[in-house]
Chain A
Amino acid sequence: MVGLPYDCLTNPLGAVRLTFEKAVASGSDPATFDGKDWGATDLFSQFLFDDGGLSKVPFLNPSTMTWVQPNTLVRFRGMIQDMLGNEFYVGAYKEGETWRTNKFADLSQFPMATGSSPDMRVWERRLLYCVPVPGQNSWIEPSSGALLNPCAISSSPQREKRQRDNDLAMDDVDMQVTDEEVHDSTSNKKMREDGIASGSSNSGSTPTEGVGSATSVLPNFDTTSFPCLVKIYDSPDSDLKLNDVFEFIGVFTFDPEFPVDKNDNKDLESSFCDDTLVQMPPSKVPRLHCLVHRKLTAQDFISGPLTFELKSQLVKGIREALVGHLTTVLGNDGVAANFMLLHLLSKVHARADSIAVGKLSLNLTCFTKETLSIFGHRLNFALKNLLPFTHYVPLTVDYLNKVSLAPRKDYQTNRLVSGILQLAEGSHLTIDETQLQAGTLNSTGVDNARVLKSLLELQKVEYDFTYYKMDIPADTQLLVLSEGKSNILPADLVLPFRPLSLDAAQDVETEVLRSWRWYLATMRSLSHSIEQEMQKVVEDDLVAARQADRSLSSQDFSRLLTMGRLISLSFGETSLTLEHWQMAKELERLRKERLQGSS
């Protein structure tokens, strides 16, 4: 490789080691490295972002698990589902006279002194339990073919074959991994020698013998949920928050042949700590020692190069096409399509006290069994194609009584048990209320209804910590489908749905879909402001409206303003114009008309 003494991709630990040694050689005291970086992260940042190495880094997912090698660089996209606290490890120690580091690794690369010595530094790292973003739609899956996989150039049929026939594949893998072996051989040998010398090493299960692991991964592995234990180094608490979606790039470790600990004191030890090792043995949950992490936005999920520019003409075009599409999906109900567009663009952009500003939940009423069966499905399909993360919850009494929507803490395992409402920022949730029949809610049901209501009203989910509850802010777009106005789920917008035709929507080209996805993701993230004069106009309008109708509350005003904002955003504008404000008022008028007409 390009003159580098190490390969960041296949031997990241080598790179870490080298930078460490360089830093020590340049006279820095390893003791000062605690909580700091000595240049390793910089090196990787440069490699990934400046030298374009990012695209070469394979994604970690169930399909790539089959061939990704331990101790190589991988990236994992996921939501932080739980935080497992800090872990103390020996960060730096002396082997003879040389300093070694354990950073970014599970196991020490070099033997450590068996006794303690003053030359051992204890550092800490954070453990995050990450899962793939809930409700992730299939179009997001990064196409593994686009990746440069140094090991598996083989096409997919061969890979499948390999799974079936492990023994044969072994050789195959072995050969491909020689590259890494060469790099690592010196240290490997050294370790083995040492292991034998100390006489305590069980040579059969030397953890660094990762080569064979790749093939035996699958039997152990739960492919439906694909959690990953991410270890974060030197990052302030506030950077990573619960339910944030991140891309972690780091050293992958996975030990499918993890030996069961046959320690005599096992019961004691496990009763002591909820041991992540016990619950999440490395053979079940892969580990990722994070070198670089970055927060992902919806735009990051649109694969492929983005050719779109933020030109008003183009945006207008896309907007028209999208509204047209939504209109078809909604049976030629143009008003509903317009509201749907606003709803899809909404996001909580500020919080003042308990008010979440910017949310716009939509309640489409007047659904019947027949219309739902047609449009419900169609709508769901369309949303799935447009948004990165969607959920569909059919609300029934039975469902409410049985599931637990909000996450809760299980103190037996000391883990946060995820609920359906533990969602990433910007997820879309459709609640189908049409199937709700009269019935009795038990306490779980009442709780669930309350949780849903608080999500709708405050965009907050109450996490149950048994002894107390904690409100976690959420940003979820909520769409409620119901027969009449939903009483248990008070949405911001209530709109009777009036389909005119039953024509099925045509298929949409992928490229067009992509432009829509880009449009929704980008417009949503635009910032927005209001000019002084416009502000005056708006104020006057509101005052006049209230003088005319005393029943208008601040919620009504909020909704109107949100709509105005979203309409301008939908045109790609960043400040409210009179035209868009008029449109908002017009839309609201149409909606009011319908409401009166339907009642």
Chain B
Amino acid sequence: MASDSSPVNTHGGPSTPDDSTSSPIGNTYSSPGDNTRRKRGRRSSATSTPVAPSNRRFTTPDATPTPSSTNSRRGRRRASSTTPSGAAAATPSYASDVPPSSEGGEGDDADEAPPMYVWGTNISVQDVNAAILRFLRNFREDPSQTEGKYMRAIHHVIEMEGDSLDVDAHDVFDYDNDLYTKMVRFPLEVLAIFDIVLMDMVSRINPLFEKHIQARIFNLKSSTSMRNLNPADIEKMVSLKGMVIRCSAIIPEIREAIFRCLVCGYYSDPIVVDRGRINEPTICGKQECLARNSMTLVHNRCRFADKQIVRVQETPDEIPEGGTPHTVSLLMHDKLVDAGKPGDRVEVTGIYRAMSVRIGSTQRTVKSLFKTYIDCLHLKKTDKSRMNAEDPMEIENGVVGNDDSLGYEEKVEKLKELSKQPDIYERLTRSLAPNIWELDDVKKGLLCQLFGGNALTLPSGASFRGDINILLVGDPGTSKSQLLQYIHKLSPRGIYTSGRGSSAVGLTAYVAKDPETGETVLESGALVLSDRGICCIDEFDKMSDSARSMLHEVMEQQTVSIAKAGIIASLNARTSVLACANPIGSRYNPRLSVIDNIHLPPTLLSRFDLIYLILDKADEQMDRRLAKHIVALHFENPENSEQEVIDLPTLTAYLSYARKHIHPQLSDEAAEELTRGYVEMRRRGNFPGSSKKVITATPRQLESLIRLSEGLARIRFSERVEKRDVMEAIRLLEVALQQSATDHSTGTIDMDLITTGVSASERMRRENFVSTTRNIIMEKLQLGGPSTRMLELLEELKKQSSGGEVHLADLRNALATLATEGLVSVHGDAVKRI
């Protein structure tokens, strides 16, 4: 049969049974002539050839290959200390359960000649052995270290009496590219040698150490998608990500059996699994007894190993459109058993294997199908979802999260690249809820909220929140709720609730009796659950007052304090609040002041950093663009008309990275600008007689400005808050409340001047228009001279503006602006310069 023809000696002689302290390695490289030391009695066929080391670890001689036998790992290794290790392994049908690798045919050149090759490959055992030894001895992460990383690790394992050594494949790659390649392509063989080298080293360091240490490789250079596993990957080391969906019960797999004679009570020697079975002795081994069929298995003296079969499924993001998730089975042994629970996201490194299945009981049909599975070497739980992706606790505790996921560096590079784009701020704004039309300034505010400012705790104990709270007040049908939903989906952790259905306890925390134990337990409410996230509250105005008052504490102190039913507690609720509400009377009433329209207690209002008034104003331009957009949506290929936006996963990654790694500090310049801006705002608030009608700037606003500018700096991945950030923050704050459009004497908004929802380009266009109009007026009209009709001006403008259309409405707007500047006065249709 196949393997018979290609005998290879990788480890010629197994150790003798009593050679317990020195592991089988001692003999591994002895010459083939060593064979004489074999206990021939046990083996029926003395002709069996020595076998590649690989067999010791992964394959077993199994006529009917089953998963149970293909990975023997520790059990087999243990056995090897007492029995000839090569014994069972030597089997002619070695390859029967393994589809041959394409190199299969090359085995013949391995022969008996001294450079020993792994069967079927051109890997020289000595070379690999030496390479591994070199790697383990010499690899250092940092040249200044005196002892190699893995030497330390080995010592550590010995101290801890562990049984495995985690080896980072990246280290292997960095140290010895060639070894890495070999390891990935021929994992069975190379890992077996790896284990041998390890055992050798261990026994040299501590000859009394009996356990066998295995190398567990993880963190391969490239990871495969489950979908792309193909026949070429069989017998290769692969790494893939997925989600555990099912774990089998733990299967005890017998490794060594001990039998007892029912007649004389004689205990047999341990019998090792051979080809997946235990051969029950038919005759009692005791010379005096020799009773037939008297042997019975003694369960509690047998040795078992744990085994588990785990199914892993593709994560949702890897599934292409119109597909269902693929699954793959994992075979876990010993320590890996129960390492993952259903629902865990894991990264698995293992060897992709296939075994033939029978379709029928007829021998002839056996091998036309294969079942595949992954022999698991290493399993790492990855972040469960983006929720935990950025657990800030890690930073606080100085524990750097496991960022070594594959391609992480690359990703970060890409994000950094992205952050260097000059228009990153605009691009992010565009990418935020791209299907919501306009509302650019609101989106900018929301971006700031997503990125957040820096939380600060002074040594004195005072703490300043870094979370930005936003309130959207607006007319119905201005897609506030859609924005909320979008942010809820995007934010790292978030709860979406509607004000109407939320009670005070539902938002904070409540005490409940556990139905089983009868104890009182504390159940977290929405705000507590969205700690470190964004709590989105829709229909804020329809919330009961008592529920709303609960928010006071949360929004400034960022805690929820409870004192009821014998529980007094203060829970963290470091959450940003994004609320939206309708103005009083559902629609914004331009005759009332802003405050009167919003109609929320000022105590609460002042806790919101940004209060956006989203007003639906009859604006032909905007309507036209909306109409154009919808027409295009219906009649053109929407993919073509789409703007260049950043896709959601990138956006999320960008966000997480910024939140985790960027902590901007105020520059002196920025600080100055802040002071100036704040003073300016204060001054405006002190407008005589207006104190009740406009929102006055308080120190809270100053804090808001700081947070916003920090957020803006974060957007750019900048560690310094610069002047332009502060200026943008001030602008956002002003735009939000339509302050530029507010008549400070009455507190009402001049509806024609509303700028929220007007995109930057549109704003630019209007500004240009205003300046053109101003120029014309300066040219044509005399100071205090006769008035001009609006239509005449329009004619003039049409002459000057090349190409672009000019509407009367635009002119009216421009004139209104100019009127507030005090340049002209407009009476009906007549324009007069003053």
Q: What residues make up the interface of A, taking CB atoms closer than 8 Å to B?
A: 31, 34, 82-83, 85-90, 102, 106-108, 111-112, 114-118, 120-124, 191, 194-195, 198, 200-202, 205-207, 237-238, 240-244, 258-259, 261-265, 268-269, 271-275, 277, 350-355, 357-358, 409, 411-412, 414, 416, 465-468, 470, 472-473, 528-530, 535, 538-539, 542-543, 546-547, 550-551, 553-554, 557-558, 561-562, 565, 576
Q: Name the contact of B367 in the complex, choosing from A83, A90, A205, A237 (C-beta under 8 A).
A: A90
B368 touches A83 (CB 8 A): no
Question: CB distance A543 to B620 under 8 Å?
Answer: yes
Q: Are B325 and A355 in contact (CB under 8 A)?
A: no
**A268-B66, A271-B309 are known contacts. Are A258 and B360 too (CB-CB below 8 A)?**
yes
Can you list 10 contacts pairing A with B, beta carbon distance less than 8 Å? A89-B368, A195-B362, A200-B362, A240-B322, A269-B66, A350-B638, A467-B245, A539-B628, A543-B623, A557-B627
The complex places the Cα of A353 from the Cα of B434 at a distance, in Å, of 8
Cβ-defined contact, A242 with B634, below 8 A: no
Question: What's the Cα separation between A233 and B276 when bound, in Å?
Answer: 35
User: In the complex the two chains form, what is the Cα distance from A122 to B100 in whole Å?
Assistant: 9
Determine the residue in chain B with the shortest Cβ distance to A191: B364
Binary interface profile of B, 202-240, with partner A (CB < 8 Å = 1, else 0)?
Answer: 000000000000000000000000010111001000000
Stretch touching chain A among B91-99, B577-585, B712-720, B740-748: B91-99
> Is A550 in contact with B616, judged by CB distance below 8 angstroms?
yes
Within 8 A of A (CB), among B347-378: 354, 357-373
A141 and B530 CA atoms in complex are apart in Å by 55
Cα–Cα distance between A550 and B634 once the two chains are bound (Å): 22
- How far apart are the CA atoms of A31 and B227 in the complex, in Å? 22
**Known contacts A268-B66, A547-B620; A122/B627 CB under 8 A:** no
Count class of interface residues, chain B? 35 or more
The answer, among A106, A244, A467, A550, for a CB contact under 8 Å with B343, is: A467
Q: Is B564 an interface residue (CB 8 A)?
A: no
CA distance A117 to B93 in the complex (A): 11
What's the nearest-Cβ distance from chain A to residue B41, in Å? 28
- With A112-B368, A269-B66 already in contact, the answer to whether A538 and B627 are too (CB < 8 A) is yes
Contact: B329 with A557, CB < 8 Å? no
Q: How far is the CA of A576 from the CA of B365 in the complex (A)?
A: 62
Q: How far is the CA of A273 from the CA of B102 in the complex (A)?
A: 26
Inter-chain CA distance A416–B325, complex, in Å, is: 10
Q: What are the residues of chain A within 8 A of B342 when measuring CB–CB?
A: 411, 467
Chain A residues near B243 (CB-CB < 8 A)? 467-468
Structural contact, A261 and B362, CB atoms closer than 8 A: no
Among B309, B324, B631, which residue has its beta carbon within 8 angstroms of that of A82?
A: B324
A550 touches B618 (CB 8 A): yes
Which of B229, B230, B364, B624 neighbours the largest number of chain A CB atoms within 10 Å of its CB?
B364
Q: Is B357 a contact partner of A269 (Cβ separation < 8 A)?
A: yes
Q: Would B368 and A272 count as touching, CB distance under 8 A?
A: no
Beyond A272-B329, A357-B633, A542-B626, 15 extra complex contacts between A and B, CB < 8 Å? A90-B367, A106-B359, A114-B1, A116-B104, A200-B362, A237-B227, A237-B320, A244-B322, A268-B66, A273-B371, A414-B246, A465-B325, A539-B631, A547-B618, A558-B630
Cα of A240 to Cα of B229 in the assembled complex, Å: 18
Chain B residues contacting A557 (CB-CB under 8 Å) are: 626-627, 630
Q: How far is B368's CA from A123's CA once the two chains are assembled, in angstroms? A: 10
Given contact pairs A237-B320, A529-B635, A543-B627, A88 touches B67 in the complex (Cβ within 8 A)? no
A201 nearest CB neighbor, chain B only? B362
Let me know if B321 is at the binding interface, CB within 8 A: yes
- With contact pairs A352-B642, A355-B633 given, residues A89 and B364 touching in the complex (Cβ less than 8 Å): no
User: In the bound complex, how far is the Cα of B790 from the Cα of A574, in angstroms?
Assistant: 45
Q: Mark B residues whose CB is within 8 Å of A.
A: 1-3, 64, 66-68, 93, 95-96, 98-100, 102, 104-105, 227, 229-231, 234, 243, 245-246, 248, 251, 276, 309, 311, 313, 316, 319-327, 329, 342-343, 354, 357-373, 434-435, 437, 477, 616, 618, 620, 623-624, 626-628, 630-631, 633-635, 637-638, 642
The answer to whether A542 touches B362 (Cβ under 8 A) is no
B633 touches A558 (CB 8 A): yes
Residue of chain A at shortest CB distance from B95: A116
Known: A85-B327, A205-B360, A238-B320. A357 touches B634 (CB 8 A): yes
Are B365 and A108 within 8 A (Cβ)?
A: yes
Cβ–Cβ < 8 Å partners of B358 in chain A: 261, 263
CB distance from A548 to the nearest CB of B (A): 10
Q: Which of B3, B623, B627 has the most CB of A within 10 A?
A: B627
* Residues B329 and A273 in contact, CB atoms below 8 Å apart: yes
Give the residue name and chain of the B residue nearest to A31 (CB). B102
Q: Using A237-B323, A241-B323, A539-B628 as known contacts, say yes or no to A352 and B368 having CB atoms under 8 A apart.
A: no
CB pair B324 A206 closer than 8 Å: no
A-B pairs, top 3 by smallest CB distance, nearest first, are A241-B322, A200-B363, A353-B435
Q: Is B365 within 8 A of A554, CB to CB?
A: no
CA distance A472 to B327 in the complex (A): 19
Cβ distance B411 to chain A, nearest Cβ, rounded Å: 22
Residue of A350, A352, A465 with highest tally of chain B CB at under 10 A: A352
Known pairs A272-B373, A550-B616; A358 contacts B363 (CB<8 A) = no
Contact partner, B364, options A194, A269, A529, A539, Cβ 8 Å: A194
**B residues near A546, Cβ cutoff 8 Å:** 618, 623, 626-627
Which A residues are CB-close (under 8 A) to B329?
272-273
Q: Smallest distance from the beta carbon of A339 to chain B beta carbons, Å?
A: 18
- Do the beta carbons of B245 and A107 come within 8 Å of each other? no
The answer to whether residues A124 and B231 also contact, given A261-B361, A466-B245 and a CB cut-off of 8 A, is yes
Chain A residues with CB under 8 A of B359: 106-107, 277
In the complex, what residue of chain A is closest to B99 when comparing beta carbons?
Answer: A122
* Cα A275 to Cα B373 with chains together (Å): 12
CA gap between A201 and B322 in the complex, in Å: 43
Is there contact, CB below 8 Å, between A88 and B231?
yes
- Complex CA distance for A345 and B1, rounded to whole angstroms: 66
Check A102/B320 contact, CB under 8 A, given A205-B362, A268-B67, A551-B477.
no
Q: Given A90-B367, A202-B361, A258-B360: A554 and B343 within 8 A (CB)? A: no
